Amino acid sequence: MKTIDELLADGVDGKRVFVRADLNVPLDGGTITDDGRIRAVLPTVKALADAGAKVVVASHLGRPKGAPDPAFSLAPAASRLGELLGSAVAFAADTVGESAQATVAGLTGGQVAVLENLRFNPGETSKDDAERAAFAEQLAALADVYVGDGFGAVHRKHASVFDLPKRLPHYAGYLIATEVGVLKKLTEDVKRPYVVALGGAKVSDKLAVIDQLLGKADRLLIGGGMAYTFLKAKGYEVGISLLQEDQVPVVQEYMERAEKNGVELVLPVDVLVSTEFPDLKTKAPATFTTVDADAIPADQEGLDIGPRTRELYASKLADAATVFWNGPMGVFEHPDYAGGTRAVAQALVEADGFTVVGGGDSAAAVRTLGFDENAFGHISTGGGASLEYLEGKTLPGLAALED
């Protein structure tokens, strides 16, 4: 995989460089609530602009239905990118149409433009190879060189991620190079003890990575909504907690394999429960009680790991040489149920080992709860991509850059 440093060494002055970024930031109306992904691509964009390239940045945002939708416009992201760069960023009102063509044609060396949301064009996400290829050809006409730096999208076989690099000289940007380097530390010659903390809503989303980790990790800590399927697999009452009943047999088999392989599988010993899901808009105080994990009332729902579990998990993370964390421990968006997620984050901050926050809600939680991002070894920009890499899957966007 060639890197941007090799591209810069060859010279980019006056060249049109297409940067596939991941500007898929959360929006509240037109206001960006977390600009982490924009800041993550800054080193690549700035290095190219400083070297005299005409930088064409492209990304998706959300899941529009293959047609323009103002709610998913990249205009706010373009504006924020300009603020962070300290210079004006041009914005094209379409992806490959008249506005995009005119905007790119108007660039001079060192200037940056952002195209409108790639998913406004149905060719970006099409399952039809010919339709994707046609869109990729139109994108290729806007550039001389391709730089892949949207790590959060590399597990997608999309036109700008998979098909476009085949049509242009292609390089990996700084973010992708960093992300891949980190993931190799989690899969090749891992320093031990290797502890993985997994949370989030659905156990089905994590089964494939658990399957892989049962042969690699020393210790697995399970929290979040997915924990209740594990507790159910132990024969516990889980009340109205999030449960994937159809996954119970698979989870039971994984628990048996963990014991056979000598992998310590750690489950909650107490949980915060309530009869009502919290109001995440008003953040009104919640009514809850703390119960043992094997004593959840039939009419109540588990919403966070309890104080004894927080202490237990912190102790299990303390001696780790390598930690990977993906998924919150509870409904962290509400202050009354953020304690478990905060405890895991704090344990990573205090750990002496190499700590990786695996993107998605975990990365959002770290920022929401006010932690210093520099206190962690690495905060990934792609939760789904990270998990699929750890599952051993071939990621289309990385495969395209390696050709």
DSSP 73-118: -SHHHHHHHHHHHTS-EEE-SSSSSHHHHHHHHT--TT-EEE---G
* pTM of the model as a whole: 0.90
**Among all residues, which ones are annotated catalytic?**
37, 202, 360, 384
Q: How far apart are CA 52 and CA 341, in angstroms?
A: 44
Note the pLDDT of residue 180: 95
Note the pLDDT of residue 268: 98
Q: How far apart are CA 207 and CA 360, in angstroms?
A: 17
Verify cis geometry, omega within 30 degrees of 0, for the bond prior to 193. Answer: yes
Length of the chain equals 403
Q: How far apart are CA 223 and CA 210, in angstroms?
A: 13
Note the pLDDT of residue 84: 98
Q: From residue 210, how far is each of 234, 257, 309, 322, 386 by CA, in Å?
A: 17, 11, 20, 16, 13
Type and span of the H or E element at 271: strand 270-274
Identify whether the C-beta of residue 239 lies closer than 8 Å to the C-beta of residue 271.
Answer: no
Q: Which DSSP symbol is given to 120?
A: G
State the CB neighbour count (10 A cutoff) for residue 182: 19
Residue with tokens 């602009």: 49
Per-residue pLDDT of the chain (403 residues; tens, 9 = 90+): 999 999 999 999 999 999 999 999 999 888 998 898 999 999 999 999 999 999 999 999 999 999 999 999 999 999 999 999 999 999 999 999 999 999 999 999 999 999 999 999 999 999 999 999 999 999 999 999 999 999 999 999 999 999 999 999 999 999 999 999 999 999 998 999 999 999 998 888 899 999 999 989 999 999 999 999 999 999 999 999 999 999 999 999 999 999 999 999 999 999 999 999 999 999 999 999 999 999 999 999 999 999 999 999 999 999 999 999 999 999 999 999 999 999 999 999 999 999 999 877 888 899 889 999 999 999 998 888 999 999 889 999 999 999 7
Q: From residue 285, how far is each of 134, 274, 276, 342, 343 by CA, in Å?
A: 53, 12, 11, 18, 20
Note the pLDDT of residue 360: 78
Specify the 3-state DSSP secondary structure of 195. strand
Note the pLDDT of residue 189: 84
Note the pLDDT of residue 212: 92
Q: Residue 219 forms beta bridges with which residues?
A: 195, 264
